[in-house]
A and B are shown apart, each in its own frame.
With several copies, the nearest count.
Chain A
Amino acid sequence: MISVAVQEADFDAGAELRALQADNPALGAVASFVGLMRDRNEGVAVTAMALEHYPGMTEASIRDIAEQACERWPLGGVRVVHRVGLIRPGEQIVLVAVSAAHRKEAFAGCEFIMDYLKTRAPFWKKETTAQGEERWVQARDTDQAAAARW
């Protein structure tokens, strides 16, 4: 069971975990990841971030990534929530939660989805520095390398 939400509103990570756990008593493991906005990026203080996306393709590409994870590992459920719009330091940006019978598969599925989401899903971040400058966040080679290992 795959659930994908792309939304401006903040989300309740606990409720997402509960929704996965309610699924199926054969599942013993839920691995999850929450990405938060940091107050610095590449050494510069940042005060806000605008997250742009490609409506329609965003949801479809996340669902496609989740389906790939379900083909690679025997997963019970996948829930992804990704925010768009204006985000402030300390706020939640993204949640990926994955259930499975055992923890190895749950962790692998969760990391895989995060790595692919970072390098495949059409989101773009523009941050505002403490000096008031707006700049597009640059893609990171380490993210490409993380996705390439799967």
Chain B
Amino acid sequence: MIRVLFFASLREALGTAEIAVPWQAGLELPAGLIAAIARQQGEAAAAILADEQVICAHNQRVCKHPTALNAGDEVAFYPPVTGG
């Protein structure tokens, strides 16, 4: 499985803080994972995640380029940060 987390306004828009997505060989971040989320949560959820403002983290590091996922990985999607 892939653990997928959503934060802040994305968490609210998707109505959940965390889902589990089945891992399969060749699953890639971001497009492959978002397609898998679309099948599981619906196209509306996937459209929210595909927004160019959305930031994607892979195993707690920001991920800007297509990346192969391994079983057990943690992925997070979140809006632009506003701390400090």
| Interchain CB contact under 8 A, B84 and A54 | no
A51 to B, closest residue via Cβ: B83
Question: Is A137 at the interface (CB under 8 A from chain B)?
Answer: yes
Number of interface residues of A (CB under 8 A): 28
Q: Is the CB of B79 within 8 A of A120?
A: no
Number of interface residues of B (CB under 8 A): 16
Give the distance in Å from the alpha carbon of A126 to the alpha carbon of B81 in the complex: 11
| Contact between A121 and B78, CB atoms less than 8 A apart | no
**Is A56 at the interface (CB under 8 A from chain B)?**
yes
Binding-face segment, B4-12, B26-34, B35-43:
B4-12
Count of A-B residue pairs with CB < 8 Å: 70
User: In whole angstroms, what is the CA distance A138 to B76 when docked?
Assistant: 19
Q: Smallest Cβ distance from A35 to chain B, in angstroms?
A: 6
Which residues does chain B contribute within 8 Å of A118, judged by CB atoms?
Answer: 81-84
B5 x A120 contact (CB < 8 A)? no
Chain B residue nearest in CB terms to A113: B84
B60 nearest CB neighbor, chain A only: A57
**A121 contacts B81, C-beta separation under 8 Å:** yes
Closest 7 CB pairs of A and B: A123-B83, A139-B80, A124-B8, A57-B60, A118-B84, A137-B82, A125-B82
